């Protein structure tokens, strides 16, 4: 099989534990692109949090793509155009802020170069800002302030509380919102139907590349759909167990240059010969 395009999650997949793309990984990705392959950076991060990695990998030069907000906004790096996006219904914001007001969690969205935060700032807020290289701006009345188009909100707090809120919000908004954990302490709130696999499928249709020629690599719960969807679904060895069970193959961890290791096995003809893998279907 000739693989023409590769979708990469960022945190825990493309980057190591220090949130850095190593030179070994970058070198193999550049080789893949020079041989005609395309790269999709598919992350729950906002666009501003993905852009530095897109620039490091020269996606503008090679015609790569950004899937920000778990696919809620898809950007052509060469032209800078938004190919398609889904917007969160703003009428739910006051309701959600009312539900969470007595819980020790923060709620945020994104405005320019800042993470816009309501309810409270905690250690997870600061982690989100650090991961994305963005500033933090707290507003006293989050619901009143957010009157502009947004692609998602994020709740952040103690994992036990996040699980509780996931259940509450999923039941209340099951028909109009997607509610899921991207980390134990992060609860994503996105428009219904936002999903990495669905956005990749729509993108591949636009650029006329069949699913079978797509590789998808990830480590988190929000990567499962694209791993199942792709012609070759790859999980990192540091991935959660359900992610590994969804994958065709397991590569080395993000701290062992797992993406570079996989790409070494993709020769110019497109054959994949992974020597560090096992079938989780056994």
| Residue 211 confidence (pLDDT) | 97
Residues of the chain with pLDDT > 70, as a percent, come to 94
| Structure tokens belonging to residue 121 | 């700032």
Q: Which CATH superfamily is domain 5-85+194-264 in?
A: HAD superfamily/HAD-like (3.40.50.1000)
Average pLDDT, the chain: 92
What is the rounded CA–CA span in Å between residue 68 and residue 49? 9
Does pLDDT of 226 surpass 90?
A: yes
183 pLDDT band, cuts 50/70/90, is confident
Does pLDDT of 175 surpass 90?
A: yes
What is the rounded CA–CA span in Å between residue 220 and residue 78? 28
Does pLDDT of 266 surpass 90?
A: no
- C-alpha 168: how far from chain center: 24
272 pLDDT band, cuts 50/70/90, is very low
CATH class of 92-191: alpha beta
| Residue 280 confidence (pLDDT) | 39
Residues of the chain with pLDDT > 90, as a percent, come to 89
Residue pair 133/52 in contact (Cβ under 8 Å)? The answer is yes
What is the rounded CA–CA span in Å between residue 200 and residue 74? 9
In this prediction, residues 241-266 reach a mean pLDDT of 93
In this prediction, residues 16-25 reach a mean pLDDT of 96
What is the rounded CA–CA span in Å between residue 231 and residue 200? 12
| Residue 276 confidence (pLDDT) | 40
Answering whether pTM is above 0.85, one says yes
In this prediction, residues 188-194 reach a mean pLDDT of 93
| Residue 265 confidence (pLDDT) | 79
Strands 232-236 and 249-251: parallel
In this prediction, residues 56-79 reach a mean pLDDT of 97
How many C-beta atoms lie closer than 10 Å to residue 230's C-beta?
Answer: 27
Q: Which residues contact 60 (CB under 8 A, 6 or more apart)?
A: 54, 77, 78
| Residue 277 confidence (pLDDT) | 43
Does pLDDT of 269 surpass 70?
A: no
| Residue 125 confidence (pLDDT) | 96
Which of 80-94, 181-195, 254-268 bottoms out in mean pLDDT, i.e. has the lowest? 254-268
> Which sequence spans correspond to the domains of the chain?
5-85+194-264, 92-191
In this prediction, residues 246-267 reach a mean pLDDT of 91
275 pLDDT band, cuts 50/70/90, is very low
278 pLDDT band, cuts 50/70/90, is very low
Q: What is the 3-state secondary structure (H, E, C) of the chain?
A: CCCCEEEECHHHHHCCCCCCCCHHHHHHHHHHHHCCCEEEEECCCCHHHHHHHHHHCCHHHHCCEEEEHHHCEEEECCCCCEEEECCCCCCHHHHHHHHHCCCCCEEEEEECCEEEEECCCCHHHHHHHHHHCCEEEECCCHHHHCCCCCCCEEEECCHHHHHHHHHHHHHHCCCCEEEEEEECCEEEEEECCCCHHHHHHHHHHHHCCCHHHEEEEECCHHHHHHHHHCCEEEEECCCCHHHHHHCCEEECCHHHCHHHHHHHCECCCCCECCCCCCCCCC
| Residue 181 confidence (pLDDT) | 86
What is the rounded CA–CA span in Å between residue 226 and residue 235? 11
221 pLDDT band, cuts 50/70/90, is confident
CB burial of residue 192 (10 Å; 0-12, 13-18, 19+): middle
In this prediction, residues 131-140 reach a mean pLDDT of 95
Give CA angle at 155 (152, 159), nearest 5°.
Answer: 140
What is the rounded CA–CA span in Å between residue 205 and residue 129? 34
CA distances from 50 to 61, 66, 82, 205, 263 (A): 16, 7, 14, 23, 21
């Amino acid at each position: 099989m000739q693989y023409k395009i590769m979708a990469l999650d960022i945190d825990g997949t493309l980057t190591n534990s220090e949130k850095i793309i190593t030179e070994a990984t970058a070198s193999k990705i550049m080789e893949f692109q020079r041989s005609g392959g395309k790269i999709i950076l598919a992350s729950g991060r906002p666009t501003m949090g993905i852009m530095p990695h897109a620039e490091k990998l020269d996606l503008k030069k090679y015609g790569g793509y950004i899937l920000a907000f778990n696919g809620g906004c898809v950007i052509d790096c060469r032209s800078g155009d938004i190919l398609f996006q889904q917007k969160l219904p703003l009428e739910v914001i006051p309701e959600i802020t009312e539900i969470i007001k007595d819980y020790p969690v923060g709620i945020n969205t994104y405005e320019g170069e800042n993470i816009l935060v309501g309810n409270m700032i905690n250690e997870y807020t600061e982690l989100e800002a650090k991961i994305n290289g963005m500033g933090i701006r707290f507003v006293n009345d989050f619901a009143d302030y957010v009157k502009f188009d947004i692609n998602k909100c994020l709740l952040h707090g103690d994992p036990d509380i996040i699980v509780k809120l996931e259940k509450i919000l999923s039941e209340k908004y099951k028909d109009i919102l997607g509610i899921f954990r991207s980390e134990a302490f992060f609860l994503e709130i996105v428009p219904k139907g936002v999903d990495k696999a669905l956005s990749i499928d729509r993108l591949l249709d636009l650029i006329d590349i069949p699913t079978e020629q797509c590789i998808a690599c990830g480590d988190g719960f929000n990567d499962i759909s694209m791993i199942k969807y792709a012609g070759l679904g790859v999980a990192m060895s540091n991935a959660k167990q359900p992610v590994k069970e969804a994958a065709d193959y397991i590569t080395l961890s993000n701290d062992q240059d797992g993406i570079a290791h996989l790409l070494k096995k993709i020769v110019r003809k497109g054959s994949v010969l992974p020597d560090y893998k096992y079938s989780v279907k056994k």
